[in-house]
Amino acid sequence: MTVLKYIEEKVRPVEKLEWVQFHIGKGFLALEELLNNHAGKYATGDEVYMADLFLAPQLYAAITRFQLDMTQFPLLARLHEAYNKIPAFLDALPEKQPDAPS
């Protein structure tokens, strides 16, 4: 958040979004390559593991908050869809938290 606030002070909102999308995209390209030979239904197999718990919120934020086009990340897009079918993951969404802004 500190980096985003700094960038926000220096550039226009559209440039901030492009900057964020570029850097998230770099990380997602690396994740696609890393998980390519390990993913099953979820990031590291057919059961939910710690990697999924950390990855799900990152995917959610990239898609909803930063409007990242996921077409170039088919594996991560598939994982995001799989996470959206897990009730506990849906219950953990930011907007479903008691302190979420209305």
Q: What is the percent of the chain with per-residue pLDDT over 90, rounded to a whole number? A: 80
Q: Does 84 reside within a domain?
A: yes
Q: Does 3 reside within a domain?
A: no
Q: Give the chain's domain count.
A: 1
Q: What is the CATH number of the domain that holds 62?
A: 1.20.1050.10
Q: What is the percent of the chain with per-residue pLDDT over 70, rounded to a whole number? A: 100
pTM of this structure: 0.88
Q: Does 5 reside within a domain?
A: no
pLDDT digits (tens, 9 = 90+) for 84-99: 999 999 999 999 999 9
- The parent domain of residue 51 ranges over 15-94
Q: Does 10 reside within a domain?
A: no
pLDDT category of residue 26 using cuts at 50, 70 and 90: very high
3-state secondary structure 11-50: CCHHHHHHHHHHHHHHHHHHHHHHHCCCCCCECCECCCCH
